[in-house]
Chains A and B, each alone.
Chain A
Amino acid sequence: MTDAKNASEKPKVLLTVDNLGVHYKTRFGQTVQAVDGVSFSLAQGKVFGIAGESGCGKSTLVNGVMSLFIPPLFYSYGSVVVDGEDITKYDSERLRVEILGKKISMIPQGALNSLNPTRKVKHFATDVMRNHEKNLSKAEIYDRLEDRFEAIGLDPRVLNMFPIELSGGMKQRVVIGISTLMNPHVVIADEPTSALDVSTQKSVIRMLLDLMERKIFGSMIFITHELPLLYHVADDIAVMYKGKFVEVGESDQVIFRPRHEYSKQLMEAITKLSTTGERHSEGARL
């Protein structure tokens, strides 16, 4: 009885990545295995953090999870299961119609440049909705847009503005608003705060967690190269190195009791203030 109750309370798994491998093919015919045998799953209401140095394959993994295999990136092996179906088997049109923006959405790196400077915010947002729900009337679209923009703490008047009229933080919020318009199962935030100042970073992260709490989206993969930031955001953390997960665990364990040598060095590499006030840092030596 208790087991059955526990099972019913167990949050629904929204995404399962199993032994995923993706590779690049270079111009000279060489194969570079950028992601190698990565596995994890993501349940409703959970945040999965991925940390690692630049070039370790975090962003390539994101493309793999979204099954966006655009040459020179190619699928090698493994599966990405969403709603019981392996989306690595989908063709690009099915992926576009059924998955992108609808079930898995992404807040890209460099979100500050992610808005088309020649178009008003409302046009971009309207196109996203029309691409998924063709029969929506103009009034319905604007009602939903206004609701969503209020939810992300933006005045609906922003809809009538061009990106050049917005501040960095506002642009970031607009991109988040657009990426979550279709209430996706999973949002992948690829270094969403790297170009923002500390206070704006904080408010953006708070907003993302709030949107998830309000079930505007189901769960989140948060990618960053700042391991300590993940402690405040993620339930579980994976440390990535050379295309592999070298350590996966609960955020407390990975941050305070890292087991793998690379995770330890990543934590040690953080600039600290010593008790005497001196700054010192140690680089990762792997």
Chain B
Amino acid sequence: MKQFKLLCKSPWFVFGAAMFLFCIFVGVLYPMFSHTDPLLRGALPFEGPSREHWLGTNGEGQDMFSALLFGLRSSLFVGIAAGIFATIIGTVIGIVGGYKGGWVDNVLTLITNLFMVIPSILVLILIANSIEKRSMLLVAFIIGATTWPWTARAVSAQTSSLKNREHVSLAKLNGYGIVSILFMQILPYIMSYVFMVFIIQMATGILEEAAISMMGLGPYDSVTLGQIINQAQKTEAFSNGNWWAFMPATVLITALQFSLYVVNTSMEGIFNPRLRKES
């Protein structure tokens, strides 16, 4: 609570968090109350911004404003879910490997290193390509399953330094099981780090979703920000100078990344005692 109060005193944190929360607010509320179907081809292709279509229409005559906000919701969903998956996978692998040590750690480190050296985007493309019907949740899981290694490595390093602390020994001596030690004694210690990792994983999730959707490998059941850019690419909006078909989605992805980056760095400034400026 004290740290949250400190965070709220950081103008950069407030700025980043407000920006991200505003995106969530708009992305969640607009699709709930809007009666416009983002897939409805209700106008001519590439109409410029007007009173009826605030951000114009795309190459298929669909309203860009609706598409953008529906896309925002989907991208946020994929990003948050991918962040959760990656954080859970990375934290569990890291904490178990770091605590158990020995051959368990060796095997888990080997798997982590393998995932690290193979470019995740390549794995992502291959997996996404091999699955025909990709729901948002599945895409999020695929992203999460390929972006966890750095989390695992960092959590493992922290756990191996924590496992010999006196409070862990006392817990062991009093009959704590391994699950209790990991989740009651070690995880609370590294929770602030894990939360910061989650923020970064969320940003990575949004970016990776945009990347694979741009290649046409995104979810099949919804509009996402990446798919808007993919659509613009397919209908040659870039070469025709129809900026409204791709620029708002690009700006929105950049804004989401920027807000999460700012939140993460300002959190580091509070959670890391070496960087903390005492008031």
- Chain B residues within 8 Å of A242, by CB: none
- Chain A residues within 8 Å of B189, by CB: 116, 118
Interface of chain B residues 37 through 86 with chain A (CB within 8 A) = none
What is the bound-complex CA distance between A101 and B165, given in angstroms? Answer: 18
A212 at the binding interface (Cβ < 8 Å): no
- Chain B residues within 8 Å of A66, by CB: 173
What is the bound-complex CA distance between A114 and B164, given in angstroms? Answer: 11
A106 at the binding interface (Cβ < 8 Å): yes
Interface of chain A residues 176 through 221 with chain B (CB within 8 A) = 178-179, 181-182
What is the bound-complex CA distance between A181 and B167, given in angstroms? Answer: 16
In the bound complex, do residue B184 and residue A179 qualify as a contact, i.e. CB atoms below 8 Å apart?
no
Task: Take A116-B188, A118-B189, A123-B184 as given contacts and tell me if A131 and B174 are in contact as well, using a CB distance cutoff of 8 Å.
Answer: yes
Name 5 interchain pairs, CB-CB below 8 A, sorted by A: A100-B174, A110-B166, A113-B166, A117-B167, A124-B171
B276 at the binding interface (Cβ < 8 Å): no
- Chain B residues within 8 Å of A100, by CB: 172-175
Residue of A nearest to B178 (CB): A96
B169 at the binding interface (Cβ < 8 Å): yes
Task: Take A119-B184, A123-B184 as given contacts and tell me if A114 and B167 are in contact as well, using a CB distance cutoff of 8 Å.
Answer: yes
- Shortest CB-to-CB span from A202 to chain B, Å, is 23
- Chain B residues within 8 Å of A114, by CB: 166-167, 169-170
User: What 0/1 pattern do residues 168 to 193 of B give for CB contact below 8 A with A?
Assistant: 01111111110010001100110100
In the bound complex, do residue A108 and residue B174 qualify as a contact, i.e. CB atoms below 8 Å apart?
no
What is the bound-complex CA distance between A117 and B170, given in angstroms? Answer: 13
Task: Take A119-B184, A119-B188 as given contacts and tell me if A113 and B173 are in contact as well, using a CB distance cutoff of 8 Å.
Answer: no
In the bound complex, do residue A96 and residue B175 qualify as a contact, i.e. CB atoms below 8 Å apart?
yes
- Chain B residues within 8 Å of A110, by CB: 166
Count of A-B contacts judged by CB separation below 8 Å: 74
- Shortest CB-to-CB span from B238 to chain A, Å, is 51
- Chain A residues within 8 Å of B184, by CB: 119, 123, 127
What is the bound-complex CA distance between A124 and B188, given in angstroms? Answer: 12
A115 at the binding interface (Cβ < 8 Å): yes
What is the bound-complex CA distance between A113 and B176, given in angstroms? Answer: 18
What is the bound-complex CA distance between A264 and B17, given in angstroms? Answer: 70
In the bound complex, do residue A108 and residue B177 qualify as a contact, i.e. CB atoms below 8 Å apart?
no
- Chain B residues within 8 Å of A106, by CB: 173
Greatest chain B CB density within 10 A among A100, A113, A118, A179 is at A118
Taking A108-B170, A124-B171, A131-B176 as known contacts, 20 extra A-B pairs with beta carbons closer than 8 A to each other, sorted by chain A number, are A71-B102, A97-B175, A100-B174, A101-B175, A102-B175, A105-B173, A110-B166, A113-B166, A113-B167, A114-B169, A115-B167, A116-B188, A116-B189, A119-B188, A127-B184, A128-B176, A131-B175, A131-B180, A132-B175, A175-B170
- Chain A residues within 8 Å of B172, by CB: 68, 100
What is the bound-complex CA distance between A111 and B177, given in angstroms? Answer: 21
What is the bound-complex CA distance between A105 and B191, given in angstroms? Answer: 29
In the bound complex, do residue A127 and residue B167 qualify as a contact, i.e. CB atoms below 8 Å apart?
no
In the bound complex, do residue B171 and residue A127 qualify as a contact, i.e. CB atoms below 8 Å apart?
yes
Residue of B nearest to A184 (CB): B174
- Chain B residues within 8 Å of A71, by CB: 102
